[in-house]
A and B are shown apart, each in its own frame.
Chain A
């Protein structure tokens, strides 16, 4: 028997020695894409301009000729069809030493607002159907050292490693496509969701997983995508994303001025995630931090004044999956406004809770989610370019919002919404979708709808969506 064991052990040992190394693979370039098409029925505030003023009579345009009158004179219809195409180029390869590498370029045709028609019927701006690079990044990964991504990509807390955000039904419920059916008035469309942090140019590191844990960190020098965003003038200007100080930085806290221009600088994100399986229940939990500096404002004498808080946000989330059900919740708090913008110094912290549930059975998925957040309201402080002082605005002496007297500029802003959705999977990559979303913004005494008479402290949106989407 001893001889048998000796000989057979040698046979098995010979097998072990013969195991080869990693197989090298030539790079593969793949082209894919998606088409989304939705019909939406919309009821929202901010759908009409103020009636009755003398100038608010549109020019007659008989036969379609003649100039349009500028200004906010119009009424919005209640339905529309939105189409969102996208192309992706995906590269992947593997080296003999185990390193995998590749990259992604996503070309999206979804510019938010399209052209504006000005008198003389000239179009200004970018067409809504114009292509724009959404993400473009390279990755290099190794089983022992983890993965590095470099380029325009979300950060580790900007969607890569978050837990608890339940969006895998409909188009994402309250964080879904309904925002494309909103206008800027009342700002119902702005959301504090992970993807909203932006895919500004950054470097991302994500560790291997051990004992269920993996970690990540990312850094971006500023808020601009592709780099050198807006740096086109011969002299240093306000709109260059590399400017660490510029006149008007206080007002650029919310990243809406000129595409992706914002005052955020030196953004870094950290994430720790645990995933595991307990008694057949799939679990995931993430703790993360989002920090940044800000650009400084300049006075008349070119003195640099720090008027904004950096992002300083903690986020915690967890989710569980069992038998087709997924439930989750996420909470964040810290220095941020309702659009991942920087708050003015002295402003209150922002906080938001979101929770959701989804259930998948065969080709059908149903789900619901909600969000509720409390943030600093708008225009609560004033920056003096003469003295460099940031002054908290005074409360109105006479305040009666019901009568439209004395707009309040010191209130906090409550934002909440909920969404319900259902998908029917017609084929792999093809969905039919029905979804309903309600969203509300409240700021007591602040006028959220300038198009209507009086002070409108509340703006709501109801959107019902029917549509389909195809990815290939």
Chain B
């Protein structure tokens, strides 16, 4: 019996170290069992223990999240997608941003690696919900020929790649917001 315990103990120490090296996923407090009556009741009745109750100190981020998801604060589009779009296109100079219409238009941008090309992006956040078809990005490309910028086709996969980046960032923002 003692040998078994020793083996179990060794595994219990070694495997978390392995987890630390391989980069595991943080287990949320809601994934552990609880003897706390309040939390048990909230879990069983479909309420969220991390957002129930009254905030007496600090910012009630759960309320902010609710408002953001519903496009609160006067916005008519999803706040996570909107913020993610701005974050994603922040490397380009911004020409205009309309939070009510959900439109972001950048100015021309020349990547240092390709000085004879320049890009301009237009992004549309399409609704209040955080969903994968909630954003559209259109990239425009020009190339320098004989000292003149002329229109050129851009790769259609780049548009979807940028949309993926926006969605990933929105998911990240949502996740960070939820874990606070």
Contacts and interface: CB of A to CB of B under 8 A. Distances in A.
Interface stretch (B48-56, B73-81, B126-134): B48-56
Contacts of A472: 38, 52-53
B41 interface: yes
B19 A146 contact: yes
Interface stretch (A57-65, A133-141, A249-257): A133-141
A470 interface: yes
A8 B155 contact: yes
A11 B158 contact: yes
Given A18-B91, A215-B12, A217-B12, A32 B52 contact: yes
B126 to A, nearest CB: 20
A26 B91 contact: no
Contacts of B26: 100, 141-143, 146-147, 208-209
A405 to B, nearest CB: 40
A112 to B, nearest CB: 15
A454 interface: no
B166 to A, nearest CB: 9
Interface stretch (A47-55, A368-376, A422-430): A422-430
A30 interface: yes
A394 interface: no
Interface string B1-15: 100110011011101
Contacts of B24: 143-144, 146, 207-210, 214
Nearest to A89: B56
A92 B26 CA distance: 15
Contact of B139 (A8, A27, A145, A194): A8
A154 B55 CA distance: 26
Best-surrounded residue of B20, B26, B59, B139 (most CB of chain A within 10 A): B26
Contacts of A28: 55, 57-61, 180
A102 to B, nearest CB: 8
A93 B176 CA distance: 11
B22 interface: yes
A23 interface: yes
A16 B90 CA distance: 11
Contacts of B157: 8
Nearest to A106: B36
A29 B27 contact: no
A27 B58 contact: yes
Interface in B136-177: 139, 141, 143, 152-155, 157-158, 161-162, 165, 169, 176
B135 to A, nearest CB: 14
A158 B32 CA distance: 11
B96 to A, nearest CB: 19
Interface stretch (A160-168, A259-267, A384-392): A160-168
A139 B52 CA distance: 19
Contacts of A147: 26-27, 29
A36 B158 contact: no
A205 B16 contact: yes
Given A27-B57, A88-B53, A431 B41 contact: yes
Nearest to A8: B158
A289 B158 CA distance: 53
A6 B114 contact: yes
B88 interface: yes
B36 to A, nearest CB: 6
Interface string B58-93: 111100000000000000000000000001111100
Contacts of A216: 12
Contacts of B19: 146, 207-210, 213-215
Nearest to B90: A18
B61 A25 contact: yes
B95 interface: no
Nearest to A204: B32
A30 B113 CA distance: 51
Contacts of A195: 35
Contact of B176 (A22, A84, A108, A430): A22
Nearest to B88: A15
A161 B33 contact: yes
Contacts of A18: 87-88, 90-91
Nearest to A363: B46
Contact of A161 (B32, B49, B89, B169): B32
5 contacts: A15-B91, A23-B180, A36-B41, A94-B176, A143-B24
Given A6-B114, A8-B139, A210-B18, 6 more contacts: A7-B117, A12-B161, A28-B55, A30-B54, A30-B56, A209-B26
